[in-house]
Amino acid sequence: MSSLLDTYRKRLIKRMLHTGLLSSQPTVLSIFTTNRCNFSCFYCSRNILDESPDAEYRYDDKSEFHMEELEKILDKYPAIRKVSFVGIGEPFLIKDLIPMAMLAHETGRRTTVISNGSLIHRQWGNIGPNFDDISISLHGLNAVELQNIAKVKENIFNQFVENIRYLVNVEAKEFPNLNVHASVVFLKQNLERVSLAAKFCMENGIPVLDLHNYLSLGPDARHNVVFEDEHEYIDFTEKLIEECKGRLKINPPVWIKRDETEMEWGCISFYHYLRVDGLGQVSGCGRIMPPEAENGNFGSEEDVFQNEYFKSMRASFRTGKGIPACCRYCPDAQ
């Protein structure tokens, strides 16, 4: 029943935004904190090769987001209710992360951060009071895997595990409002890894695991995506959720529609989502499209959220014409 109500509510909001009954203003601010990272995962979108068909989605702009930029944006857009500190890079590498989270939190916004978990020990005592959610991306479930994927020394895994345990056993206990999640990509070629990720969470006390469908940027990688008619994978997930019940909450991926004509194209990202980086670049996409110079600049434009780029993207989702190809396999468009 609640999911039916949720669907109805989302459709109503979408309709109100499309018809202008609700005004378009940023309520979510997603900050690309830096493109620097202490990991170098081979699948990272910083490492997409020039010759790859996905090269247009690569993010490798050297920048770092600072406090004064956040102050400027929050002053300009007081309707922002949530501030997310994300990559593509490691947020815990930047100097202003905690002061920025503190500012957002103290002004009543929800604060979230996505991290690889290897550097969070630098901020014990500051995470719980300043963040509502921390999501740890599981890039390696053992020392060898982490070394192979992220090109880091084997001992980084020990630090990572130590950090996770402290996070859930000390930081989150002392600050019970802090929600700790882990996340992993659902790879259909490697279901065992999904089970191992769940086991890792249970062994280390992580209470919630988010499974993400493979985010295909275009048709070339669609074989990695799990479609809603692939019952083998869906049954596997349901069984795992059941097995872990009471010990770990698993949020399943959004399964992708096989038939494009059945899609709702219901994404309202461009109506309420502002993604920014330290160069002032912007995007209105909550998943795939990184901030880019050609989309506008929050530093030099009076109201970047109402510029031609945002208006034309809103028109695309309102009319169904000119929606970018990368949206086809995105959970928000299904």
Distance, in Å, from the CA atom of 308 to the CA atom of 119, rounded to the nearest integer, reads 39
> Pick from 26, 65, 89, 181: which binds ligand SF4 (CB under 6 A)?
89
Q: Is 225 in the site for ligand SF4 (CB under 6 A)?
A: no
Q: Is 250 in the site for ligand SF4 (CB under 6 A)?
A: no
> Pick from 130, 269, 281, 295: which binds ligand SF4 (CB under 6 A)?
269
User: Smallest distance, Å, CB 235 to ligand SF4?
Assistant: 26
User: Smallest distance, Å, CB 117 to ligand SF4?
Assistant: 9
- Do the Cβ atoms of 133 and 175 come closer than 8 Å? no
Cβ-Cβ contacts under 8 Å for 321 (sequence gap 6 or more): 315
The 178-217 contact track toward ligand SF4, x by CB under 6 A, reads ----------------------------------------
Ordered strands of the 179-185 beta sheet: 249-251, 208-212, 179-185, 133-137, 110-115, 82-86, 28-32, 273-277, 281-283, 292-297
Name the one range near ligand SF4 by CB under 6 A: 17-25, 35-43, 125-133, 234-242.
35-43
- Do the Cβ atoms of 85 and 59 come closer than 8 Å? no
Q: Which is nearer to ligand SF4, 63 or 116 (CB)?
A: 116
> Pick from 180, 288, 291, 298: which binds ligand SF4 (CB under 6 A)?
288
Applying the rule CB under 6 A, the residues between 103 and 132 that interact with ligand SF4 are 116
> Pick from 31, 119, 206, 327: which binds ligand SF4 (CB under 6 A)?
327
Q: Which two tokens stand for residue 98?
A: 């905690």
User: Smallest distance, Å, CB 137 to ligand SF4?
Assistant: 6
Q: Which is nearer to ligand SF4, 103 or 209 (CB)?
A: 209
Applying the rule CB under 6 A, the residues between 135 and 174 that interact with ligand SF4 are 137, 139, 150
Integer angstrom CA distances of residue 317 from 14, 207, 258, 265, 310: 10, 36, 20, 7, 11
> Pick from 26, 87, 278, 280: which binds ligand SF4 (CB under 6 A)?
87
Q: Which two tokens stand for residue 155?
A: 């001992």
Q: Is 91 in the site for ligand SF4 (CB under 6 A)?
A: no
Q: Which two tokens stand for residue 11?
A: 């459709």
> Left (φ > 0), alpha (ψ -120 to 50) or beta: where does 20 sit?
left
Strands 179-185 and 133-137: parallel
Q: Is 287 in the site for ligand SF4 (CB under 6 A)?
A: yes
Q: Is 226 in the site for ligand SF4 (CB under 6 A)?
A: no
Q: Which two tokens stand for residue 1?
A: 């029943």
Distance, in Å, from the CA atom of 213 to the CA atom of 207, rounded to the nearest integer, reads 20
Integer angstrom CA distances of residue 264 from 143, 331, 333: 42, 11, 6
Positions touching ligand SF4 (CB under 6 A) are 37, 39-41, 44, 46, 87-90, 116, 137, 139, 150, 267, 269, 285-289, 326-327, 330, 332-333
